[in-house]
Amino acid sequence: MKIHSAKNKTDKGQRGFTLIETCIAMVVMTVAALGCSSLFVFSMRNNVGGSQRALAMAVAQQQMEQLRSVNFEDATLLAGTNISTVRSAGQNYTVQRVVADEINSDNSPKQLRRITITVTPQAAAGPNWTRASVVLATMRSTLASGSYAVSQ
């Protein structure tokens, strides 16, 4: 009778990973990680830009409320263009305020003025869209009687 000794039998399905397979897996994971990190940087820039535009809108609304609070005959509502610099939340903004008198078809003046406020952030860095202007426009009329007057 023959006695067979137990031999080390290895199953081909359980040999483990080769060095090449490990390197390929590392390259794939590195590419995925780089894609996620660039997405993170893009997201941070856009959040900062959105914050700057929101602050510019707040400055524009504040300027508009100042003009709404004065009388129609006040000197700040005279027709013309006024450019100034406003600092808010550590950021400088260029504010352009345009007040224009409206006229009737027969060139007679209406008791109505168009007010346009343009606020532009003075950002030194960042994408171009973060430096885009925010524009608010409104019409303002007098309480006196006349064309386009507001009645009480």
Q: What is the pTM of this model?
A: 0.63
By the 8 A CB rule, do 83 and 118 touch?
A: no
Q: What is the distance between the alpha carbons of residues 79 and 26, in angstroms, rounded to a whole number?
A: 67
Residue tagged 């893009």 (tokens)? 42
By the 8 A CB rule, do 52 and 123 touch?
A: yes
What's the pLDDT at 152? 45
What's the pLDDT at 142? 79
pLDDT one-digit tens code per residue, 39-83? 888 887 777 777 788 888 999 999 999 988 888 888 888 899 999
Could you give the residue ranges of the DSSP H alpha helices within 12-141? 19-68
What's the pLDDT at 110? 82
Six-digit token pair at 97?
């305020």
What's the pLDDT at 54? 87
pLDDT in tens, the chain (152 residues): 666 655 555 555 566 778 888 899 999 999 999 988 888 888 877 777 777 888 889 999 999 999 888 888 888 888 999 999 999 888 899 999 999 998 888 888 788 899 999 999 887 566 666 678 899 999 988 776 655 545 44
